[in-house]
Amino acid sequence: MKALVVFCHPTHESFTGAVLERVLAGLTGAGHEIRLTDLYAAGFTPELTREELVDYRFDHRHAPDRRPDIDQAADDLHWAEALVLVYPTWWSGQPAMLKGWFDRVWVKGVAFDLPEGATRVRPLLRNIRRIVVVTSHGSSKFVNAVEGETGKRAAFRSLRVLCSRRCRTKWIALYGIDNASAGRRHDFLVRAERSMLRLR
């Protein structure tokens, strides 16, 4: 498969950086073709500008003009068959940098179309048939369930509807990382790699 991996963490010398290494190792071992987007290393600008927002909300006749800094990201999305997101969960959701990537890249003309007079969007990412999230949470699974797992819902409800109708999802999460033993962390790294090896 063609796998687009989006990594969102300020440093590779982190547990999330170690997770990324295992994810890439698993995908490589399975023979998948990989493109890696490292949002922090690339200096991605997550803020939606006023101009972008006006185009997005008020010009219904056509998609906004493509911004040069999202050209590659848009091309990567249209190339991919699998989308793998690697990030830590902060404040119950994706880091601001990754949320900004959703805001600025998953836009009309890239991820969906809304023909004049239509009441429902038309997905433009039908090429993506797998979405995998590999993340960690400081709190327990119970606490996240009570909070509603907003990050999970954003990925598997909002993003998924713009992909293939048969798009399958996988959530790989380490809960309670703040108190996790070295053994639990190691087991999670192994699990992440094995999941990528089995990705189909």
Give the pLDDT confidence of 22-35 residue by residue, as tens digits.
Answer: 999 999 999 999 99
Confidence band for 141, pLDDT divided at 50, 70 and 90: confident
pLDDT given at position 60: 47
Q: Are 126 and 164 in contact (CB under 8 A)?
A: yes
pLDDT given at position 44: 95
Q: Are 144 and 175 in contact (CB under 8 A)?
A: yes
pLDDT of 190 strictly over 60? yes
Domain ranges of the chain: 2-197
121 vs 10, higher pLDDT:
10
What would you report as the CA-atom Rg of the chain, rounded to the nearest whole angstrom? 17
Q: Which residue shows structure tokens 């990201």? A: 73
Strands in 168-174's sheet, in edge-to-edge order, are: 33-38, 2-7, 82-88, 130-136, 168-174
**What pTM, to 2 d.p., does this model score?**
0.92
Give the pLDDT confidence of 102-139 residue by residue, as tens digits.
Answer: 999 999 889 999 887 788 889 999 999 999 999 999 98
Helix (H) or strand (E) holding 154: none
CATH topology of domain 2-197: Rossmann fold (3.40.50)
Confidence band for 93, pLDDT divided at 50, 70 and 90: very high
